[in-house]
């Protein structure tokens, strides 16, 4: 089981879970409300590592344009993970593949 997406909006996390489940990708959502210290985040986990790349492709189609930093929607770019070089949507803070921080210095 690999953490794939984390967000404070549980509705968005649930929507992404539905998109992936409809395509046969097994997922689990966990809330961090019981963590210490408590955080309001929900995390979407992919159950089988072999589904990660397909999940990434499917989810990219459903990410809302306003989540991207680029104002010109035709110039939306991925961020390469500094650890594993896999592409990640610009709104991800953690690599979907290796879970490294995408913006670490």
pLDDT of residue 26: 95
- Is pTM beyond 0.85 here? no
Per-residue pLDDT reduced to its tens digit, 18-38: 989 999 999 999 876 555 555
H or E segment and range at residue 6: strand 2-7
Q: In this prediction, what percent of the chain has a pLDDT beyond 90? A: 14
Per-residue pLDDT reduced to its tens digit, 67-97: 433 334 444 567 888 889 888 887 788 888 8
- Domains and their CATH numbers in the chain: 2-65 (3.30.70.790)
What is the CA angle 58-59-62, rounded to 5? 105
């Amino acid at each position: 089981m690999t953490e794939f997406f984390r967000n404070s909006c549980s509705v968005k996390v649930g929507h992404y879970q539905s998109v992936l489940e409809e395509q046969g990708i097994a997922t689990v959502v966990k809330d961090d409300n019981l963590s210490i210290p408590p955080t309001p985040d929900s995390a979407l986990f992919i159950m089988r590592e072999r589904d990660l790349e397909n999940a990434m492709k499917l989810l990219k189609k459903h990410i809302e344009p306003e989540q991207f930093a680029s104002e010109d929607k035709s110039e939306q770019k991925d961020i390469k993970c500094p650890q594993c070089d896999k592409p990640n949507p610009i709104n991800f803070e953690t690599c979907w593949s290796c879970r490294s921080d995408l913006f670490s210095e």
